[in-house]
C-alpha cells in the first residue's frame, strides 16, 4: 500500500498505548501471509534482544535492539509505522513457519491485505 491503512495504524497505536500483546492479526505482505499476535515495539525489541544475547555468534547484535527504543521516533505522538509480531508464523501451503512462532517486524505501508485473528494451519 502506498498509503498506510488508517485502521491498521489505529490498531497498532492501540497495541502500543495499552502495552498489550493479545491482539491477533493476519496480514499479507509481498504475497506472504503472516499470522500471529501483535506486541508493543518496546516489548518486541526486548524479546529479540534476549534471544540474540543467548547466542554465542549473534550476542553482539542484541544491543542494536535495546538502544533507541523509540524506533527513531520522537515521542509516542507520531503514528506507528511498523507492526511487531510475536508468536507469528508465515503460512505456506499446509505449513506454518516456524512451527513455534517467530518475531516479525512488518512495515504497515507494505501490508496489502489484513484481517483480525490468527489463522490456523494444518499439518495434514
**Average per-residue pLDDT for the chain:** 85
Residue 100: the pLDDT is 79
pLDDT in tens, 20-68: 778 999 999 999 999 999 999 999 999 999 999 989 899 989 999 987 6
Residue 69: the pLDDT is 59
What proportions of the chain, in percent to the nearest 5, are helix, strand and coil?
30, 35, 35
Residue with the larger pLDDT of the pair 120 and 3: 3
Position 121 pLDDT exceeds 60: no
Instruction: Give one DSSP letter per residue of 9-48, joined into a string.
Output: HHHHHHHHHHT----EEEEEETTEEEEEEE--HHHHHHHH
The model's confidence at residue 92, banded by pLDDT at 50, 70 and 90, is confident
Cβ contacts of 2 within 8 Å, gap of 6 or more? 109
Residue 70: the pLDDT is 52
Q: How much is the pTM?
A: 0.84
> By the 8 A CB rule, do 16 and 76 touch?
yes
Position 112 pLDDT exceeds 70: yes
Position 72 pLDDT exceeds 70: no
Amino acid at each position: 500500500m502506498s498509503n498506510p491503512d488508517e485502521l491498521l495504524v489505529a490498531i497498532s497505536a492501540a497495541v502500543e498505548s495499552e502495552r498489550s500483546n493479545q491482539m491477533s492479526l493476519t496480514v499479507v505482505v509481498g504475497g506472504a501471509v503472516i499470522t500471529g499476535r501483535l506486541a508493543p515495539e518496546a516489548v518486541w525489541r526486548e524479546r529479540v534482544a534476549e534471544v540474540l544475547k543467548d547466542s554465542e555468534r549473534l550476542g553482539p547484535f542484541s544491543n542494536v535492539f535495546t538502544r533507541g527504543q523509540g524506533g527513531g521516533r520522537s515521542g509516542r505522538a507520531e503514528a506507528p509505522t511498523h507492526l511487531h509480531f510475536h508468536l507469528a508464523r508465515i503460512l505456506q501451503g499446509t505449513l506454518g513457519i516456524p512451527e513455534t512462532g517467530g518475531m516479525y517486524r512488518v512495515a504497515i505501508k507494505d501490508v496489502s491485505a489484513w484481517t483480525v485473528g490468527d489463522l490456523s494451519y494444518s499439518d495434514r
